[in-house]
């Protein structure tokens, strides 16, 4: 099984290098512009890679806390609350940091740059809330690697949703989506993955909601700075967590007063989640989604490692096959957009 992890890591690493090369190699432009373009892509790839580890680590902490009896909604509330608190303290400390270190950091503007921003941020928060709520429920009740694989099936549903927009997917994307959907069925099938049907439904609906949320993320660049997007998302999730604790659903609703040590874990989850959220949001603003989306699948690998460490049963062969198909499908879906973007840049220059 270690060979599988190493293979997945190498595939992501080689793909990242290949995609970066598509953007940079043989593009006719001044050398300085070529270097700047490579720098932007490299930043986006690195930020996404780093975010996958932080998110997987946060999910592992959440899973451990739920094993102690804390509900998924309580986890969401504390994660979001400390995320907002950490960002607010960071924003407030910027003037002092600038004076002490002679820096020129700027406090992000929390307001929309133009009309329509509030509606978009609310739309992202709504679908993000559904996705996170169902994801945290799955973190608490099924192996971490499987619950993460559901989330990472998001690109499959993004392709499906394009049928309802003006954009139409090509045959290659449809073929890749069918491969990925086969993987989702293998992971979601209670007879093959040995997970309850409610977790399969939660995983699929959560991935669909995440797809809606991410379809709005890149357009938010026109309205908000990355720090503002993360902060408003954290505020909305704090509200969702408070309301969700009222739900009479086992493992989802309810509140337990945490002791000091557990409270520290909640703080860690909030801070780590904040870092991951910021890194991911920033990565989409540095590089096109087609370049960095394949890197996000490293989250599954990290989650399998961390889940196994926490005592999760290792997925069986059929479930691993489904996870592999989801990863392979996501890479295939990203490739045409990446190649198209490279050609556009080449023709432009």
pLDDT for residue 10:
40
254 pLDDT more than 60: yes
Classify residue 316 as left (phi > 0), alpha (psi -120 to 50) or beta: beta
Instruction: Please state, in angstroms and rounded to a whole number, the distance separating the CA atoms of residues 168 and 173.
Output: 10
11 pLDDT more than 50: no
pLDDT for residue 15:
43
| 31 — pLDDT class (breaks 50, 70, 90) | very low
Which residue is it, tokens 């960095």? 292
Summarize the confidence of residues 305-334 as an average pLDDT: 83
- The string of pLDDT tens digits covering residues 276-301 is 878 887 887 777 766 677 778 888 88
Residue closest to 326 by CA, chosen among 336, 316, 318: 318
Contact assessment for residue 158 and residue 296, using Cβ atoms and an 8 Å cutoff: no
- The string of pLDDT tens digits covering residues 35-70 is 455 466 777 778 888 998 999 998 899 889 988 889
Please report the sign of the dihedral spanned by the C-alpha atoms of residue 339, residue 345, residue 348, residue 349: negative
| 108 — pLDDT class (breaks 50, 70, 90) | low
Helix or strand (DSSP H, E) at 268 = helix 260-286
Summarize the confidence of residues 227-244 as an average pLDDT: 85
- The string of pLDDT tens digits covering residues 195-222 is 888 998 999 999 999 888 877 776 777 7
**pTM reported for the whole predicted model:** 0.72
Least confident of 195-199, 207-211, 258-262, 340-344: 340-344
Instruction: Please state, in angstroms and rounded to a whole number, the distance separating the CA atoms of residues 121 and 196.
Output: 33
- pLDDT mean across residues, the chain: 77
Q: What percent of the chain has pLDDT over 90?
A: 9
């Amino acid at each position: 099984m270690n060979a599988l992890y190493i293979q997945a890591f190498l595939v992501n690493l080689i793909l990242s290098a290949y995609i970066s090369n598509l953007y940079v190699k043989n593009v006719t432009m001044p050398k300085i512009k070529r270097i700047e373009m490579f720098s932007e892509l490299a930043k986006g790839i690195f930020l996404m890679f780093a975010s996958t580890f932080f998110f997987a680590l946060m999910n592992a902490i959440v899973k451990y806390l739920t094993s102690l009896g804390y509900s998924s909604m309580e986890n969401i509330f504390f994660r979001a609350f400390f995320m907002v608190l950490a960002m607010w303290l960071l924003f407030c400390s910027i003037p002092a940091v600038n004076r002490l270190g002679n820096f020129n950091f700027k406090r992000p503007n929390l307001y929309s740059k133009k009309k329509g921003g509030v509606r978009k941020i609310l739309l992202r928060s709504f679908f993000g809330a559904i996705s996170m709520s169902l994801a945290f429920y799955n973190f608490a009740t099924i192996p971490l690697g499987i619950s993460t694989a559901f989330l990472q099936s998001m690109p499959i549903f993004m392709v499906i949703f394009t049928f309802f927009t003006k954009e139409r997917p090509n045959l290659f994307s449809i073929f890749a989506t069918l491969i990925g959907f086969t993987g989702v069925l293998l992971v979601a099938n209670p007879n093959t993955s040995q997970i309850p049907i409610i977790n399969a439904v939660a995983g699929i609906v959560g991935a669909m909601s995440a797809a809606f949320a991410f379809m709005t993320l890149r357009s938010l660049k026109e309205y908000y700075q990355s720090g503002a997007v993360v902060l408003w998302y954290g505020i909305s999730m704090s509200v969702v967590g408070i309301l969700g604790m009222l739900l009479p659903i086992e493992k989802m609703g309810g509140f337990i007063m945490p002791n000091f040590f557990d409270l520290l874990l909640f703080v860690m989850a909030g801070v780590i989640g904040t870092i991951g959220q910021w890194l991911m949001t920033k990565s989409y603003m540095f590089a096109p989604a087609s370049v960095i989306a394949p890197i996000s699948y490293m989250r599954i690998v990290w989650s399998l490692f961390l889940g196994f460490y926490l005592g999760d049963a290792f997925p069986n062969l059929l479930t691993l096959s489904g996870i592999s198909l989801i990863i392979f499908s996501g890479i295939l879906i990203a490739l045409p957009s990446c190649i198209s973007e490279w050609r556009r840049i080449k023709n432009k220059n």
